[in-house]
């Protein structure tokens, strides 16, 4: 399977702290995307980083991509209780086929 894996599977932090989650994948990609899912609901796109990019920012989000290590990280700074959710990375391999990781469950304690 080309499925990615997130690490850690679960993360619990205090409000105001930073949260870092990692994603590893197996094959060459066009881009890598991060999504958030609130308990059993639809996924919401957070950020897309292309294979020729190394770092990208969006608000409190910072994503890095290391294609040599086939890994990516998502950093959420100054976390809020509303950030409590599951976070998934998805690799775009062919432009049509997407492979999602198993997700990191983030709990932000007020």
Q: Which residues bind another protein (CB under 8 A)?
A: 1, 3, 30-31, 33, 35, 40-45, 48, 50, 88, 90, 92, 95-103
Least separation in angstroms between residue 110's CB and another protein is 27
Longest dimension (CA), the chain: 41
Minimum distance from CB of 31 to another protein (Å)?
Answer: 5
3-state helix, strand, coil in the chain (%, to 5): 5, 55, 40
User: Closest CB to another protein among 44 and 109?
Assistant: 44
Q: Which is nearer to another protein, 5 or 15 (CB)?
A: 5
Q: Name the burial class of residue 110, with classes exposed (0-12), middle (13-18) and buried (19+) by CB atoms within 10 angstroms of its CB.
A: exposed
Q: Which is nearer to another protein, 57 or 109 (CB)?
A: 57
Q: Token pair for residue 96?
A: 């049509």
């Amino acid at each position: 399977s080309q499925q990615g894996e997130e690490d850690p599977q679960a993360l619990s932090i205090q409000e105001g702290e930073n949260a870092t989650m990692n994603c590893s994948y197996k094959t060459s990609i066009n881009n890598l995307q991060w999504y958030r899912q609130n308990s059993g609901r639809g996924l919401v796109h957070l950020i897309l980083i292309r294979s020729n990019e190394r770092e990208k920012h969006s608000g409190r989000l910072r994503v890095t991509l290391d294609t040599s290590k086939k890994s990516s990280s998502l950093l959420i700074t100054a976390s809020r209780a509303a950030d409590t959710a599951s976070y998934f990375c998805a690799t775009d391999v062919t432009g049509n086929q997407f492979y999602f990781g198993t997700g990191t469950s983030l709990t932000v304690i007020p």
